[in-house]
Structure 1
Amino acid sequence: MTATPTSGLRSVLLAGGGTAGHVNPLLAVAEELRRRDPATTLTVLGTSTGLEARLVPEHGLPLELVPRVPLPRRPSPDLLRLPGRLAAAVRAAGDAIDRTGAQVVVGFGGYVSTPAYLAARRRGVPVVVHEANARPGLANRLGARWAAEVGVAFPGTPLPGAHVVGMPLRAAVAALAGRRTADADATRREAATTLGLDPTRRTVLVTGGSSGAVRLNAAVATVAGDLLATGVQVLHLTGAGKADAVRAALPSGPAAEHYHLREYLGEMELAYAVADLVVCRSGAATVCELAALGLPAVYVPLPIGNEEQRLNAAPLVAAGGGLLVPDEELTPAWLRGELLPLLADPGRLAAMGRAAAVAGTVDGAARVADLVARAARTGGRR
């Protein structure tokens, strides 16, 4: 997909909030639209309690607020209150469309998108939907029914008329992809120095996300001695409040200095820059970022929800870009039998990285911006 000029696009309303999985792609698309035409008015629709309340103003974008309206998945007292809450949220979203004169509404799923889609439909404003997960959520399943354009991160996502556009990457990750292409060794050395790691050692990155993952933490810590005996170093991001439990399970001795513990790292691009292999959950953003960077990974899907994390990783694993292990099967025995042999086979690791890169997409934000430009140009006619 080639870049479509957005000149003449006067105003866009972007709807998404709650979690990083909704907010970060939204911000990436907003940045791309602003880069193409700084005169375009960009407004974000969100809540006062989600992650967007902090991140959107930090990125210099105005935030219009709507009430948070969770959609109950089963009968409950909340279901009785839903019509009134949803009507209030649709009014607030409609007021934002009217105030900003939005020509297109772009939704990224979550609580905020449903009222935005409904308000846009009532006004005849074209809608663009981006779905990050392989299994779409309720809001995007609704919006896609009449959307002018639908973009998905993964092939096979069951939404009508969907284009596979990949994930709009955070600016820092997109920039890292460019630096790695230009000079991967220099990028690695610089990041290793910043993190206090040895730039000459192969690095295993272990992360369960910002909140951590108890099973990943416990299983990897149990085989820490075996890992270090292979000559690698480990950067283990445990999640808030979980470092002490991991530290207590680590072996002592000189090799332990190469097992680096942190609870959290705000600049994840630094960790990606030094990693040779990643052990992680398979949220949509994680899978897409690692693929874009050509990083092989062991994906351990979160064992709750509707299996979206397993589905997110499945195409990449099928392409040879990673391994998939169910949460309950990630044991010290599995790590000794599968992870250690993988680390001992640089050729296999390199092949996995190449396969990941082929499956990955670096220009997801540009592709979604193209959909926005086309929706504005056609007025929402498919």
Structure 2
Amino acid sequence: MTEPLSVVVAGGGTAGHIEPALAVAEAVRSLVPEARITALGTARGLETTLVPARGFDLTLIPPVPVPRTLNKDVVTLPFRLQKALGETRKILKEVKADVVIGFGGYVCAPAYLAAKSLGIPIFIHEANARAGMANKLGAKLGGTALAAVEESGLRADIVGIPVRESVLNLDREALRSEARRFFGLDEDAPVLLVTGGSQGARSINDAMMGAAQILADAQIGVLHAYGKKNECSVSTHGGPPYVAVPYIDRMDLALAAADMILCRAGAMTVAEVSAVGLPAVYVPLPHGNGEQELNARPIVEAGGGVIVADSELTPEAVAREVVPLLRDKERLEIASKAAARAGHRDAARKIAEKLVAAARSHHKYSAA
């Protein structure tokens, strides 16, 4: 083969689409270091910063959101899709793509249609408990569907969610002391990590502020990321430090510092938390189609966490779920192992192996 294998990953917009795509890209690079890997995205998404920072080429196409209601965007959709499709076909030809995999979001519909028109193998990865419209389109076009959980709405192999190498390789025990010093936490007390996502969550913040003294009395430290647009005022008497910050840049150190986490249940969050073996109190987002609860359910059923409804998250609920576990080392270790077993640490590699096999077959056929 004179030309290297060429793999295109399409996943733009939110971190939930981009991070799995980059995790698979890293796994492909590990399997075939000389492979050409191209990420497909749009100018409006986080990929413009995340993809270059991880060392991959990024090409941009116009976003093509599919309207969920009848409005003027429905009229212009065919024209916008045609423009994006033309540009995507051009990119796939330029990089001599051997396989395309999409992870949902605005870039995927043009990617799937362009790949289909050029005879390039298509793979679809669905991270959420309910498949999105673009991924359903990819499946209808004959793409090979892969999913994180059962009953996503796609006939798919269940592979889990691909997690980035830096998380998979995180040695929490080795980094524990360094991580706690970094955040100003007690090095010996059990620590609860709390996050409502990058924007924070008011219900989580309110419950934690109410539970702060209870946790301090139980000798439990807290690292709480409350969101840049929110406020969080905590004052405790005695006990380990309660460290409240608007945002955590070093999430690797936060995961290493923690013994347990209280968080939302986005697909990527659940995947990373379980991959590092961190027991969790999952508080699913109260609106939407209920997919966050479905994301967390396999981990909870395995014994790696509990689910508390957003409407039921009170200071008393926090104390009830957190204190007994963090004060019992044996139970904590059992929950940690259960969370790790329930996750899919090998998802990225499994997907990468499928992509490389399909790419090699297409590459050989194209060169013939």
TM-score range, shorter chain: over 0.9
2:212 is the counterpart of 1:224: yes
Residue deviations 1:257-301, cap 9 Å, x none?
610011111121111111111000001111011111111100001
Distance (whole Å) between structure 2 residues aligned to residue 93 and residue 101 of structure 1: 12
Q: Once the 2 structures are TM-superposed, how far is the Cα of residue 353 of structure 1 from its aligned partner?
A: 1.4
Per the alignment, residue 366 of structure 2 pairs with none
2:239 is the counterpart of 1:251: no
2:346 to 354, 360, 363: 363
Per the alignment, residue 213 of structure 1 pairs with 201
Q: 1:229 and 1:215, CA in 2 relative to 1: closer, same or farther beyond 3 A? A: same
Distance (whole Å) between structure 1 residues aligned to residue 151 and residue 289 of structure 2: 16
Distance (whole Å) between structure 1 residues aligned to residue 236 and residue 261 of structure 2: 24
Q: Once the 2 structures are TM-superposed, how far is the Cα of residue 209 of structure 1 from its aligned partner?
A: 0.9
Q: Once the 2 structures are TM-superposed, how far is the Cα of residue 90 of structure 1 from its aligned partner?
A: 1.1
Whether the 8 Å contact between 2:217 and 2:238 is mirrored in structure 1 is: no
1:317 to 285, 295, 300: 300
2:158 is the counterpart of 1:164: yes
Per the alignment, residue 338 of structure 1 pairs with 321
| SS class of match (1:234) | strand
Please give the TM-score of this superposition, normalised by the length of structure 2: 0.93
Distance (whole Å) between structure 2 residues aligned to residue 201 and residue 357 of structure 1: 22
Letter in 2 for 1:77: K
Letter in 1 for 2:115: A
Q: Once the 2 structures are TM-superposed, how far is the Cα of residue 36 of structure 1 from its aligned partner?
A: 2.1
Residue deviations 1:21-50, cap 9 Å, x none?
111111111122122222211111111121
1:195 to 183, 198, 202: 183
Letter in 1 for 2:54: H
Q: Structure 1: 5+ residue runs without aligned partners?
A: 1-5
Please give the TM-score of this superposition, normalised by the length of structure 1: 0.90
| SS class of match (1:33) | helix
Distance (whole Å) between structure 1 residues aligned to residue 194 and residue 301 of structure 2: 22
Identity of aligned residues (%): 46
Question: Where do residues 54-203 of structure 1 align in structure 2 (5 Å cutoff)?
Answer: 54-160=49-155, 162-176=156-170, 179-180=171-172, 184=173, 186-203=174-191
Q: 1:357 and 1:308, CA in 2 relative to 1: closer, same or farther beyond 3 A? A: same
| SS class of match (1:92) | helix
Q: 1:337 and 1:368, CA in 2 relative to 1: closer, same or farther beyond 3 A? A: same
Q: 1:332 and 1:254, CA in 2 relative to 1: closer, same or farther beyond 3 A? A: closer
Q: Structure 2: 5+ residue runs without aligned partners?
A: 364-368
Distance (whole Å) between structure 1 residues aligned to residue 202 and residue 169 of structure 2: 31
| SS class of match (2:296) | helix
Per the alignment, residue 20 of structure 1 pairs with 15
Residue deviations 1:149-175, cap 9 Å, x none?
322222343312x22222221232112
The worse-fitting range, judged by mean Cα deviation, of 32-41 and 112-121 is 32-41
CA RMSD of aligned residues (A): 2.1
Letter in 2 for 1:246: C
Q: Once the 2 structures are TM-superposed, how far is the Cα of residue 9 of structure 1 from its aligned partner?
A: 5.5
| SS class of match (1:14) | strand
Letter in 2 for 1:229: D
Q: Once the 2 structures are TM-superposed, how far is the Cα of residue 130 of structure 1 from its aligned partner?
A: 1.1
The number of equivalent residue pairs is: 364
Q: Once the 2 structures are TM-superposed, how far is the Cα of residue 57 of structure 1 from its aligned partner?
A: 1.9
Whether the 8 Å contact between 1:203 and 1:277 is mirrored in structure 2 is: yes
2:258 is the counterpart of 1:304: no
Q: Once the 2 structures are TM-superposed, how far is the Cα of residue 367 of structure 1 from its aligned partner?
A: 1.0
Per the alignment, residue 3 of structure 1 pairs with none
Per the alignment, residue 192 of structure 2 pairs with 204
Distance (whole Å) between structure 1 residues aligned to residue 354 and residue 147 of structure 2: 11
Distance (whole Å) between structure 2 residues aligned to residue 116 and residue 316 of structure 1: 32
